[in-house]
Amino acid sequence: MTLARKLEAYLRRQWPALSGFTIEELHQIPGGASRETYRFVARYTEAGADRRKGYIFRRDPSSSLIDTERSHEFRTYQAVFGTSVPVPEPLILENAPGDLERPFSVMAEVPDCQSATANFAVPPYSEMRRQIGEQKWSILGRLSAISPAELGVDSFMTVVEPADCARHELDYWAGVIEQDALHPQPIAMAAIRELRRRYPPPAQRLCLVHGDYRSGNFLYDEHGDIKAVLDWEMAHIGDPLEDLAWSLDPLWPWPDKTLAGGLMPRHEAITIWERASGLRVDREAFRWWQIFASLKALAIWISSSEDFANGQTKEPILAVAGWLMTDRQNRILVDRLSPVSRHRYAEAL
């Protein structure tokens, strides 16, 4: 039985009210490197009306860029859905997959959208960069303004003290580098030492940190409107500056460092975020989080190298991340930290 038929049989059991439920097409789509991601279209009859609807099916691979719990991400989607931060509707989380072999989740598709960042460089989307950027950092600011308790994520996420956010994150990602590096990493080690010498002040407030908030992880439509924020697998409770710094890392618009996320100058992005969050960016604290963002990214690329080399899944994205991204992130970190930096890849902090 094909994957489509197995999934169809499963969903018929789950959704008995949708009569004649049939999957018309199912195909794997790129992106979502931490899970196998498929799009499918289903036809069914509901309350006497014929319907045709798209869904996203995400299944655990045997290896991924980021080692995360699927239930953690799914519960985060549930927590955020319905707030002012748009996300796809989470529908099913299945940890006992039976015929479908590996745990999976199902979400509603956000129709007629795309996530490609390359579009921002060419018309018509190059004309919408400011509009998309305004929304991107406003949404992030709104996320920073909601308390974890209001979202309910404190029921399943570790709650750290505001003074411990930085140390908690650094310890985790330094550990990933220590565990997964296949070759010595002198630049990463220098970054870790620098970060441990100068921790930032306590977080101004705790918030839900997305953990991978960047261009490429949101869906926008043909009008340049952001319809959903994706990929919440690294979400955690922490310092709002963490997401802001991550969103501004020079890797995302590489090699053009003038437009944050390929969308707008970084100082404008910061202003928008400050307005939406009600917070101020402390320069020294932000310096720490920007170095940390580049280090965390490097840790992910190092980990994906290890996954590609030693894991069971030989997905090319793991090798691309582990090779090209490690190279670029090393250059960014040298620019960030070197006292003799020429700032070719990253702006002075």
All residues at 6 or more sequence positions from 113 whose CB lies less than 8 Å from its CB, including other chains: 219, 220, 221, 227, 228
Residue 27 interacting with another protein (CB under 8 A): yes
C-beta of 113 vs 190, nearer to another protein: 190
Closest to 165 (Cα-Cα) out of 49, 243, 78: 243
The SS3 assignment for 280 reads: coil
Residue 235 interacting with another protein (CB under 8 A): no
Burial-class residue 46 by CB neighbours within 10 Å (0-12, 13-18, 19+): middle
Strand ranges of the sheet holding 49-59, from the earlier edge strand across to the other edge: 19-28, 36-46, 49-59, 104-108, 90-94
Contact window for another protein (CB under 8 A) among 28-36, 101-109, 150-158, 279-287: 28-36
C-beta of 33 vs 66, nearer to another protein: 33
Burial-class residue 287 by CB neighbours within 10 Å (0-12, 13-18, 19+): middle
Residues 191-210 that bind another protein (CB under 8 A): 193
Least distance to another protein, CB of residue 31, Å: 8
All residues at 6 or more sequence positions from 167 whose CB lies less than 8 Å from its CB, including other chains: 199
Give CA–CA dist 108/88, Å, rounded: 6
C-beta of 202 vs 311, nearer to another protein: 311
C-beta of 165 vs 298, nearer to another protein: 298
Closest to 293 (Cα-Cα) out of 157, 173, 137: 173
C-beta of 159 vs 309, nearer to another protein: 309
All residues at 6 or more sequence positions from 66 whose CB lies less than 8 Å from its CB, including other chains: 34, 233, 234, 300, 303
Residue 298 interacting with another protein (CB under 8 A): no
Residue 114 interacting with another protein (CB under 8 A): no
Residue 316 interacting with another protein (CB under 8 A): yes
Instruction: Give just the sign of the alpha carbon dihedral 97, 101, 103, 108.
Output: negative
The tokens 């991340």 sit on which residue? 321
Q: How is residue 75 written in tokens? A: 């519960």
The contact mask relative to another protein for 29-68 (x = CB under 8 A, - = no) is xx--------------------------------------
Least distance to another protein, CB of residue 28, Å: 4
State which of residues 126, 198, 338, 343 lies at the interface with another protein (CB under 8 A).
338
Contact window for another protein (CB under 8 A) among 4-12, 78-86, 120-128, 330-338: 330-338
C-beta of 133 vs 322, nearer to another protein: 322
C-beta of 56 vs 143, nearer to another protein: 56
Residues 156-195 that bind another protein (CB under 8 A): 183-187, 189-190, 193
Contact window for another protein (CB under 8 A) among 118-126, 163-171, 198-206, 311-319: 311-319
Question: Taking CA 241 as the corner, what is the angle to CA 237 and CA 244, rounded to the nearest 5 degrees?
Answer: 105
Least distance to another protein, CB of residue 334, Å: 5
Residue 255 interacting with another protein (CB under 8 A): yes
The SS3 assignment for 63 reads: coil
Residues binding another protein (CB under 8 A): 27-30, 183-187, 189-190, 193, 255, 315-317, 319-320, 323-324, 327, 330-331, 334, 337-341
